[in-house]
Amino acid sequence: MKIVHVASELFPYVKTGGLADAVAALAGALADRGHEVAVYLPGYRVVLEHKDAAGAERTHRLKVEQGTDFLSGEVRVFSPRPGVTVHLVCREEFFDRRGAYGNGERDYEDNAERFIFFSKAVVESLRLAEAGADIVHCHDWQASLVPVLLRQAERRHGVTLALKTVFTIHNIAYQGVFPSRTFARTNLPEEVNQIDGIEYYSQINLMKGGILFADRVTTVSPRYAQEIQTPEFGCGLDGVVQTRADDLVGLINGVDSAIWNPATDELLPARYSPQNMAGKKVCRTELLKRCGFGAGFKGPVFGVVARLAAQKGIDLILANRDFFQSNDVRLVILGSGERRLEDEVRAFVREAPAKVHFSPRLDEAMSHLIEAGCDFFLMPSVFEPCGLNQMYSQVYGTVPVASRVGGLVDTVIDADEDPIRGTGLMCEPTTSGLLDALQRALALFADAPRHAQVQQRGMARDFSWKAAAEAYDRLYLESL
Ligand code: ADP
Ligand code: GLC
């Protein structure tokens, strides 16, 4: 099949979260299955500066109608691996900036303009290439207008650009909601600006377009597929999602073992495997040193790697300060994001500098060292569509402490509830729920043989993308 992915992030070129990992790994796994895969991505500055993109070839210039303007852009292509091409939609005005979505303080004010342009340029590029795709698979709100625009362009030009479209919700909390006047920039017919289109409480909601107009809708775990049909997790779109319940499926992401595998991970000071865990100790010692803790520390080390957003339950960790103060433990936090959370984590470090370490930045190597060097990985998310770190930590023999939401439920088994199969510790996403799991973590750590068993079971799990890619493949075929 000819499969086109449209996304706003792609590892290793631009990443703010799991979307980048998921799209890159899925594209690669589909190529491994013999498909021809093209990924459309905005030509951000960071991407153009990447060595792989240096030799990108311009395939065409294009002009898109946006409101009353005609905006020009160009598409550049390179191939990061056999079977996959990356198509960069370039326009300096929109994408030659430091961040993908904002300047670190807040989102760019013209994000609607930027991603409407991106979506239109993708459709125009598919038209100019005159090579119809079997599947056009769009990810999250930044690409969610593509299914709508594509059918519109097909009618207008009398061509077939895609046999079927798929829209994946990676996180329904981010919907691309903009003032109603923005609608004019889509040049879509007024009928799309209605309640059964992208109109949303006198504004427009781009994600709604993807949910309503794609042939199939997916999200990134079975549990989240259920949750987003409820008011508690649907973020106002639960009713809309319900209308597509028959076409909705939750497919869990996988782990890209070329990047996340402790036996081959070049970002670690030492490698290890279930048969020989000595390297994990080396990683732990290195992590303790890096954090300025004594390398000889013998107690449990807890780690966090996360976007600092309310979603990730950082507030629950902070509300459990006393636990970290009163027990002989260490806590390492790597993350950047919301200013409020960064400030509060900093304040926590000032209270307990000998026990808590905070790296307020994006740091790929450090994220691997934390996964490898910790004993427990904390992920008390308030909601979690899929979550990747709880899978990475199991693969790295680090026991996840995760809340009972979304993809965490589908990927972690509580070791106290299921002593035979358990791979982690689950909690309710509340302060007391987390405290209970933290205390159970202490008990597990104190029981070395049982701790080792739980680690080994996590490491033995198969989270490979093979299964996930097969599931997408089946979905594509079914829809065709
Ligand atoms: P989300 O996509 O909601 O942020 P996921 O668990 O799916 O959550 O994916 C997060 C990804 O981003 C993981 O690969 C994680 O290692 C990475 N990540 C998050 N914060 C950082 C950071 N500060 N430095 C490096 N990697 C990070
Ligand atoms: C989103 C979700 C996360 C998921 C990732 C990749 O960022 O927050 O749970 O793992 O997308 O699908």
Q: What is the pLDDT of residues 142-153, one digit of tens each?
A: 999 999 999 999
> In the chain, what percentage of residues exceed pLDDT 70?
100
The CATH T-level fold of domain 278-460 is Rossmann fold (3.40.50)
The whole-number average pLDDT for the span 50-60 is 93
Is a pLDDT exceeding 90 seen at residue 65? yes
Ligand 2 center from residue 306 Cα (angstroms): 11
Cβ(379)–Cβ(401) below 8 Å: yes
The whole-number average pLDDT for the span 73-93 is 98
Rounded distance between C-alpha atoms, residue 406 and residue 236, angstroms: 17
The whole-number average pLDDT for the span 341-354 is 97
> In the chain, what percentage of residues exceed pLDDT 90?
98
CA 452 to chain centre: 29
Domains 2-254+465-479 and 278-460 share a fold: yes
Is a pLDDT exceeding 90 seen at residue 82? yes
Ligand 2 center from residue 176 Cα (angstroms): 16
Confidence of residue 104 (pLDDT cuts 50, 70, 90): confident
Both structure tokens of 252: 């869990």
Ligand 1 center from residue 393 Cα (angstroms): 12
Is a pLDDT exceeding 90 seen at residue 105? no
Domain ranges of the chain: 2-254+465-479, 278-460
CB distance 256 to ligand 1 below 6 Å: no
CB distance 371 to ligand 1 below 6 Å: no
Confidence of residue 103 (pLDDT cuts 50, 70, 90): confident
Q: Does domain 2-254+465-479 have CATH number 3.40.50.720?
A: no
Ligand 2 center from residue 334 Cα (angstroms): 17
> What's the pLDDT at 131?
82
The whole-number average pLDDT for the span 218-231 is 98
Angle at 426 between CA 420 and CA 427, to 5 degrees: 145
Ligand 1 center from residue 201 Cα (angstroms): 32
Q: Whose C-alpha lies nearest to ligand 2, atom 10?
A: 387
> What's the pLDDT at 304?
98
Buried b (16+ CB within 10 A) or exposed e, 389-415: bbbbbbbbbbbbbbbbbbbbbbbbbbb
Rounded distance between C-alpha atoms, residue 179 and residue 199, angstroms: 10
Ligand 2 center from residue 254 Cα (angstroms): 11
The whole-number average pLDDT for the span 72-89 is 97
The whole-number average pLDDT for the span 158-180 is 97
Tens digits of residue pLDDT in 442-467: 999 999 999 999 999 999 999 999 99
Of 406, 441, 438, residue with least CA distance to 422: 441
Tens digits of residue pLDDT in 364-408: 999 999 999 999 999 999 999 999 999 999 999 999 999 999 999
Q: Rounded to the nearest 5°, which phi and psi values hold at 100?
A: -80, -40
Is a pLDDT exceeding 90 seen at residue 99? yes
For residue 269, what is the DSSP state?
A: S
The whole-number average pLDDT for the span 20-37 is 97
CB distance 387 to ligand 1 below 6 Å: yes
Rounded distance between C-alpha atoms, residue 347 and residue 324, angstroms: 14
> Which residues contact residue 435 at a Cβ distance below 8 angstroms, ignoring those fewer than 6 apart?
320, 323
Angle at 317 between CA 315 and CA 320, to 5 degrees: 110
Counting ligand 1 atoms within 8 A of each CB, the residue from 101, 311, 332, 362 with the most, and so the one to mutate, is 362
Report the atom number in ligand 2 closest to the C-alpha of 388.
10
Q: Whose C-alpha lies nearest to ligand 2, atom 5?
A: 18
The whole-number average pLDDT for the span 14-30 is 96
Question: Burial, 232: exposed, middle or buried (Cβ in 10 Å; 0-12, 13-18, 19+)?
Answer: exposed
Report the atom number in ligand 2 closest to the C-alpha of 224.
9
Tens digits of residue pLDDT in 116-133: 999 999 999 999 998 889
